[in-house]
Amino acid sequence: MKTTHQEIVEYWSRHQDECGLSVDWSEAEELCWRCTQKRSLQRCHIVPHALGGSEEPNNLVLLCSQCHAEAPNVADSEFMWTWLRSHAVSFYGSYWYSRGLQEFEFIYGRKPLSRFFEKNESSLLPKLNTIISKYMNQTNTHWGQGQINPATIAWLLRQVEIELENDTSINS
C-alpha cells in the first residue's frame, strides 16, 4: 500500500518546521511544496528508491511533476530540505515568475526593465500591463504544466523591453 498524501503531510508537520518553506502545512496536501502551484502532486522520494530510500512518510515529500523532475536524487536526506528552502518564495504563485527573472538575467546578463525603472517613469506600470497582456497571448505552457516556464517568462520580459524601447513617449 502506498503512503498517502495525508500521511506524508501529517508526518512532516510533526517533524519539520514550515518556517522557510514555500508552503505551510495547512495547505501541503494541495500545493506543491516547492512552487506552491495547485497541481496534481506526486510522492517524491527524499532518498531515491534506487539509493535505498523507503516508501515511508519520512522519505517522501509532495511535488508537482515539474518540480519532481528537478528534485535532487541523492542519498543525503537533509539536502531535500535545503533545496526546498532555497527555492522558497514569499508569495504563493510567484515561484515560476521569480525563476523567469533569473532566466532573463542568465540569458541577457542584466536585470530586466532596469533601464526603464531608472527613469522613475510614472506612466510605466499601465504600459507594462498593456504590453504583457499583448504578449501573453503569444505564450503557452508545455503539456501537463500549469504555468509558463522560466524561459517563456524571460522571452516575455524581453518583448516588453523591446516595446518600451520603441515607445517614443518614454524615450523622448
CA distances to 60, 66, 67, 143, 160 from 37, rounded to whole Å, are 18, 10, 10, 16, 25
Give the tens place of pLDDT for each residue, 68-127: 999 999 999 999 999 999 999 888 888 988 999 999 999 999 999 887 776 656 667 788
Q: Is the dihedral of CA 16, 22, 26, 27 positive or negative?
A: negative
Give the tens place of pLDDT for each residue, 26-50: 999 999 999 999 889 999 999 999 9
Maximal C-alpha separation, the chain? 68
The answer on pLDDT for 17 being more than 90 is yes
Write the secondary structure of the chain as one string of H (helix), E (strand) and C (coil): CCCCHHHHHHHHHHHCCCCCCCCCHHHCCCCCCCCCCCCCCEEEECCCHHHCCCCCHHHEEEECHHHHHHCCCCCCCCHHHHHHHHCCCCCCCCHHHHHHHHHHHHHHCCCCCHHHHCCCCCCHHHHHHHHHHHHHCCCCCCCCCCCCCHHHHHHHHHHHHHHHHCCHHHHC
On the CB side of 22, CA atoms within 13 Å amount to 29
Residue 58: band (very low, low, confident or very high) from pLDDT cuts 50, 70, 90: very high
Evaluate whether 139 touches 132 at the Cβ level (below 8 Å): no
